[in-house]
Each structure stands twice: as C-alpha cells, then as structure tokens.
Structure 1
Amino acid sequence: MGWTEEQALRTDVNAIVVAHDGRKAMLAAIFGGGEEEDVPPEPEKLPEMTPALFRAMFAR
C-alpha cells in the first residue's frame, strides 16, 4: 500500500483491511478486473439484540 513499516505498525487492523480493499478496487479500476470482484459481498446479518443476548454479552 506504499506505507512505511512504522506507519503499518501504528495503524489499526480495520484501517489496514479498508486500505487493502481500496487498493484492490483502485487496481481493478485501472487494469480491469473480473465481474465477480466488482460485486461487494453481502453484509453479515447480525442476530437481533434481545435482553437475554444483551445480558449474555455484557454480564459480569
């Protein structure tokens, strides 16, 4: 991605994933890419937050 080692080590993992996806999209736009790569994946469906699930997640 063109980052120095220091920049990469200081960067949050989520930012690295987003930067990687952006770089792939940029390269696909410049050099062309398959149709499958241009379709974003479906977002993961999260379970409905119920009081029982909330307690299970945050109970001490």
Structure 2
Amino acid sequence: MGWLGWTEEQTLRADVNAILVGLDGRGDMISSVLRAVFGEDPKLAIEITAQPITEDYFDAMFAVE
C-alpha cells in the first residue's frame, strides 16, 4: 500500500518510528537501484580557500558601517 509497499494492516499497526525506518530503507533501495543503472555520482572537487578575517573583511561580510 502506498510508497512503502505495505499492506493496509501493516500500515495501520505501524508507529511513527517504523514508518520512518521503512521510508529510509525504501529510499536506500531506490538509490541503490539508480546507482546500479546509471553509475555513481561524480565526486565534485571542492576547493577550500582560507582567507584571514580582518576587521575590514568582517565589516564587508556583515554590512557593518
């Protein structure tokens, strides 16, 4: 019944935690199928740049006058 594929009786007897776990499991299953069909997502390289926070930089970021 519905997105989780449960019967009506299973659905009516389930508490909130069971529904959340079932939903999470169904999402994992769908993700696994999509990865098997289309392959893994490409990993995007994130460049982290560190800029020291000076008083002027802080004022510019937070619009302090």
CA radius of gyration, larger in = 2
User: Normalization by structure 1: what TM-score?
Assistant: 0.49
User: Normalization by structure 2: what TM-score?
Assistant: 0.46
The structure whose RCO (Cα within 8 Å, separation 6+) is larger is: 1
